[in-house]
Amino acid sequence: MADFLHQLWIARFALTQGLILTLWLSLVSIIAGTILGILGGVALTYGGRLVRWPVRALVDALRGIPVLVLILAVFYLLTFAGINFTAVESGLIALSLFSGAHMAEIVRGALSAIPTGQIDAGKALGLSSFRIFALVLLPQAARMIMPVWINTGAELVKTSTLLSVIGTGELLFRTQEVIGRNFMTLEFYGFAGALFFLINFAIEQAGRVIDRRLAAR
């Protein structure tokens, strides 16, 4: 135990950097994915055929591709196309696309569950299409989306570990570097697992608080 604590102290800066990068990648990708998901969900629900069909094909393709394959495709295919992104940028793009595709389907389901009479009522009040969506549809959809959105955020934290294959420097990658120096495999993988558990537990608790407040309203 004393040896592990000593090695942990030596590796504290590397692990902290990896943890911060993991949190940053997860946060930015869920925000970007939410924006993409809202746009995609609106297109799938209210768009015409020329809009809905291409979006549907893209969403289904991204949801059907394994995340690891998507990460490698973004990292290597963009390079072959002459677009040079860093490993972190490529990982962020891949996670955002993955998150956005799933959020688009979630948003579509929530919007489809709202009675069409709500739109008619908004039009009767003289509201524009944007105000109907922002003031009438989105608040109702948010209550249905929130539990799944929180779960998606937790999944992204765990999915971010796959970015270690392209050398992003997130928590798992830093942990593997530390293990390569001291060979304390079980101890440091266990420590990394505990950190991921604490992050996801905090996200889950925050989600419950938000869900209760939305339900109260």
CA-to-CA distance for 81 and 121, rounded, in angstroms? 49
Structural domain spans, the chain: 12-216
Q: What is the model's pTM?
A: 0.87
Q: Could you report the per-residue pLDDT of 165-188, keeping only the tens digit for each?
A: 888 888 999 999 999 888 888 999
* Residue 75 near residue 90 (C-beta atoms within 8 A): yes
Q: Could you report the per-residue pLDDT of 60-108, keeping only the tens digit for each?
A: 999 988 999 999 989 888 777 777 888 899 999 999 999 999 999 999 9
Task: Examine the pLDDT at 216 and tell me if it is beyond 70.
Answer: no
Q: How far is CA 96 from each of CA 130, 134, 150, 214, rounded to the nearest angstrom? A: 25, 23, 15, 26
**Is the CATH number of domain 12-216 1.10.260.40?**
no
